[in-house]
Amino acid sequence: MSYPHNLPLNIVCLATYYKGADFINECKAHGCHVVLITKEKMLHEDWPRESLDDLIAVPNDAGPALFIDLLAFLARQRKIDRVVALEEFDVVTAALMREHLCLPGMSSSRAKVFRDKLSMAVYSQRAGVNLPEFVPLINPDEVKGFMDRVPGPWIIKPRSDVSAIGIRKVENANDVMRAMDEMNERENLRERASYYLLARFVTGEVFHVDSVVNDGKVIFSGANQYGRPPMQVAHQGGAYISRSIERGSSDEKSLFDANKKLIKALGLERGATHAEFIKSDEDGKFYFLEIAARVGGAYIAEVLEAATGVNLWREWAKLEIADGKVASSKIRPARKEYAGIILSLAKQEYPDTSAYVEEEIVNRVKKRHHAGLIVRSPQLLRVNQLLSDYAVRFADDFVAVEPPPERPE
């Protein structure tokens, strides 16, 4: 890969939560000057300080204006070349910062498409991507007409939050209308009904496709399946599982095709993506759920690296450093194996997984009140067997349940 002649670049990274250590390390390995801006509550995390030229903490309630002013302050000292959001909640803020200094990268209007579930649904629908029917919770007559056409149950979900935060299932039309009335009485204007949408509830298995994108094209992707839908894990507790799917299968082909169409429709030029799809129990079709312009959380990158040897964070960093100018249009995986993860909240502050001794274990999650193992094998059957066995053992050894937050903390 060739790099621009003006190295080292000056890169500012944003991370509201602990993410992206490999991205930071890769930038530093190529001689870049790297500054990380995080929130005060995250200052104690295990950031790769040896790869950071500066680590700045802003107040936990800091808004975009403060980030923009801080960027301008940093720019007085040295020219800024890149601003990169390592975390979902920073995608739009990073775009506003780039626009303030006219830096390359995704615009704020494009970033909002990847943060707003209504926008991504509208864009993907226009492009012919299959997705559950939906309606914004704005006009009562339109909502009632939707419920007359689309039988329940339905899902009410916030347009801008992530994972299962704020999502609830509703069974009848009266509950939906009551929810709208309740939302519109909220003191916080951004928690009122227009910031939510209603969608048909689809039962089925949930999959995710994680990609690296350059020049608007997917140059690497991997498809995994969740053991249980994330919403079910968030609301009912238990272990989270994600695992590879069969290479070359019809499911993999369908997911990769839908993912490419989706990314083209949403207009991402460069970066990493995490898209989720559900395979309907009713008709066997894949339906698009949501997409984010960042690397997937919950150790998804580590699972993909275990299976393929490709590190999403490092590949994304290389594209940023090279300004997208790469010789190859594809990233070739170093191996084609299978991998998976089991992860759960733990009763113990520092869970001990030493009783799990199988040779396929390649990574042990080290995080307070979390137990997790990543396994790898040339055989998908072996990965599935291990994860199924561990799910039973984790329930006895570690699993703790915590209700999902209604809003991000």
Query: DSSP assignment of 336-399, as one string?
Result: --EEEEEEEEBSSSS---TT---TTEEEE--BTTEEEEEEEES-HHHHHHHHHHHHHHHHHHTB
Record the tokens describing residue 257, joined without a space.
């095709």
Mean pLDDT lowest for which of 203-217, 300-314, 389-403? 389-403
| Mean pLDDT across 193-199 | 96
Give the model's confidence band at 166: pLDDT under 50 very low, under 70 low, under 90 confident, else very high.
Answer: confident
Any bridge partners for residue 47, and if so which? none
Nearest to 276 by CA among 110, 116, 163: 163
Cis peptide before 404 (omega within 30 of 0): no
pLDDT at 1: 45
Q: What is the mean pLDDT of residues 175-204?
A: 96
Distance CA 227, CA 342 (A): 9
The answer to whether 143 touches 198, Cβ cutoff 8 Å, is yes
Residue 234, pLDDT above cutoff 70: no
Helix H, strand E, coil C: the string for 234-279 is HHHCCCEEEEECCCCCHHHHHHHHHHHHHHHHHCCCEEEEEEEEEE
- What's the number of CA atoms in the CB half-sphere (13 Å) around residue 329? 3
Tokens read off for 311: 């590190």
What average pLDDT is seen over the chain? 92
pLDDT for residue 230:
65
For residue 139, pLDDT beyond 60: yes
- Go through the domains of the chain in sequence order and give each one's CATH number: 10-113 (3.40.50.20), 133-200 (3.30.1490.20), 204-397 (3.30.470.20)
| DSSP per-residue string spanning 117-160 | HHHHHHHHHHTT-----EEESS-HHHHHHHHHHS-S-EEEEESS
Q: What is the mean pLDDT of residues 158-176?
A: 84
Lowest-confidence range among 38-42, 115-119, 157-161? Answer: 157-161
The residue-averaged pLDDT of 392-409 equals: 75
Token pair 């274990």 is at which residue?
361
The structure tokens listed for 113 are 């498409």
**Dihedral sign computed on CA atoms, order 81, 87, 93, 96:** positive
At 214-225, the pLDDT tens digits run 999 999 999 999
The single residue listed with the structure tokens 């990314």 is 263
> C-alpha dihedral over 271, 41, 92, 89, to 10 degrees?
70
pLDDT above 60: residue 277: yes
pLDDT (tens digit per residue) in 198-211: 999 999 999 999 99
- What is the model's pTM? 0.92
CA pair distance 311, 296, nearest whole angstrom: 12
Which residues contact residue 113 at a Cβ distance below 8 angstroms, ignoring those fewer than 6 apart? Answer: 119, 120, 123, 266, 267
Beta partners for residue 399, in sequence order: 346
State how far the alpha carbon of 375 is from the alpha carbons of 19, 67, 183, 353, in Å: 21, 39, 44, 13
| pLDDT tens per residue, range 57-88 | 999 999 999 999 999 999 999 999 999 999 99
> What pLDDT, on a 0 to 100 scale, did the predictor assign at position 4?
47
Secondary element (H or E) of residue 328? none
> What is the average pLDDT across 146-154?
97
What pLDDT digit, counting tens, does each position of 263-272 carry?
999 999 999 9
Q: What is the largest CA-CA distance in the chain?
A: 63
